[in-house]
Amino acid sequence: MPLVGFGIWKVPREKTAQSVYDAIKMGYRHIDGAYDYTNSKEAGEGVQRAIADGLVRREDLFVTSKLWNNYHKKQHALEMAQHEVDTWGIGYLDLYLIHFPVSLAYIAPSELRWPCFWSDPEQKQVTAIDPTPVSETWAALESLVRTDANPSGILRSIGVANFSSQLLHDLLSYAAVKPAVLQVEHHPYLVQAGLIRAAQAAGVAVTAYSSFGPQSFVELGNATARDTQPLFSHQVVVDIAQRHGRTPAQVLLRWATQRDVIVIPKSNNAQRLAENLDSFSFDLAAEELEAISGLDKGLRFNNPAALGSLHIFD
Ligand code: NAD
């Protein structure tokens, strides 16, 4: 699994096919999408064109998508995984994640035209919780994983996102197919050292999302993000970047990958995409890694509790 991927949340639908194509041309081999991002079809078109043009073979790519919260029941999980594979149109997915450890009331995909936590187009009504055990969802996804006994499986691996260490340990206690990946919010303001240690010790790879902390949430009008010192201008990060002749973004990504945490930064800008991909050819000293980890404040930006009723992390 390539250590640097291209995350496509908030990549505008009309630009997604070209962005994904350009990212592959630039050297990206790992694309992180989700049903919730509403651009899987276009992302798949970009991948298909890159393959047709001979830039890459399907087996060189690592494509991730995610199961949204309204589809945790067995039948829905099976249908939505198949739907996502069909939508991408590239034969199979390399990784399929349970997007959040919360099961919400079913809304037919034809009616859910704004995949998110809302159940109305005005985005006032948070969808009610309709509990489904993770074990039910997991067993459904396990049945889709390609194995010798199931050679037509449409998923190469499965995993989870936004899980706590307790939930991960519980899942590991019964999983016949072990989760390959745990994807969580991870940046210097939310280090989650224990969670990462627990996952990696259990052989579960960790992927960081929102590696730049508040940056991704400022554009969503998130007040906490707006009131937080940007990591890009934090003196600790800036000083280290200057010492290495690198950008703060590259330092933030290297801080993660040097600790075996995979990153999937998103950008709509070609120069930044290139900069993010080129964040390997230097190493941070142990005391620099520690100084960056020392910025931790347990500050989470992607928290549905902010909507009023969905307490997942607290
Ligand atoms: P991110 O940390 O990648 O930040 C994106 C922001 O940083 C954008 O505003 C972008 O313009 C800016 N940026 C990117 N590269 C830059 C650079 N080199 N210099 C300066 N600015 C730069 O945030 P993200 O999009 O929230 O997270 C990355 C990916 O993680 C998403 O696209 C998505 O695929 C995934 N994700 C998953 C979940 C989940 O619940 N599993 C949640 C959020 C994001």
HSE (CB half, 13 Å, CA atoms) of 178?
Answer: 10
Rg, C-alpha atoms of the chain: 19
Tally of structural domains, the chain: 1
- Among 238, 267, 300, say which to mutate for ligand 1: greatest number of ligand atoms within 8 Å of CB: 267
Total-model pTM: 0.98
Q: Whose C-alpha lies nearest to ligand 1, atom 23?
A: 210
Burial class, 285, CB count within 10 angstroms (exposed 0-12 / middle 13-18 / buried 19+) = exposed
Burial class, 223, CB count within 10 angstroms (exposed 0-12 / middle 13-18 / buried 19+) = exposed
Which CATH number characterizes residue 170's domain? 3.20.20.100
Q: Whose C-alpha lies nearest to ligand 1, atom 30?
A: 209
Atom of ligand 1 nearest to the CA of 268: 11
Q: Whose C-alpha lies nearest to ligand 1, atom 27?
A: 210
User: Does residue 238 sit within a domain?
Assistant: yes
Q: Whose C-alpha lies nearest to ligand 1, atom 11?
A: 267
Residue 57: CB atoms within 10 Å? 9
CA of 10 to the centre of ligand 1 (A): 9
Query: Can you read off the two tokens belonging to residue 191?
Result: 């280090």
Please tell me the predicted confidence (pLDDT) of residue 69: 97
User: Does residue 1 sit within a domain?
Assistant: no
User: Does residue 230 sit within a domain?
Assistant: yes
Establish whether residue 210 lines the binding site of ligand 1, counting it when its CB lies within 6 angstroms of any ligand atom: yes
For residue 122, the one-letter residue type is E
Please tell me the predicted confidence (pLDDT) of residue 83: 97
Establish whether residue 162 lines the binding site of ligand 1, counting it when its CB lies within 6 angstroms of any ligand atom: yes
CB 290 within 8 A of CB 234: no
User: Does residue 93 sit within a domain?
Assistant: yes
Establish whether residue 279 lines the binding site of ligand 1, counting it when its CB lies within 6 angstroms of any ligand atom: no
**Active site (catalytic) residues:** 37
With a cut of 70, list the residues of the chain below it in pLDDT: none
Establish whether residue 7 lines the binding site of ligand 1, counting it when its CB lies within 6 angstroms of any ligand atom: yes
CA of 189 to the centre of ligand 1 (A): 15
CA of 6 to the centre of ligand 1 (A): 9
Q: Provide the residue range defining the domain that includes 196.
A: 6-307
User: Does residue 313 sit within a domain?
Assistant: no
Residue 79: CB atoms within 10 Å? 14
User: Does residue 312 sit within a domain?
Assistant: no
User: Does residue 23 sit within a domain?
Assistant: yes
User: Does residue 165 sit within a domain?
Assistant: yes
Instruction: Give 256-299 pLDDT, tens digit per residue.
Output: 999 999 999 999 999 999 999 999 899 999 999 999 999 999 99
Establish whether residue 137 lines the binding site of ligand 1, counting it when its CB lies within 6 angstroms of any ligand atom: no
Establish whether residue 288 lines the binding site of ligand 1, counting it when its CB lies within 6 angstroms of any ligand atom: no
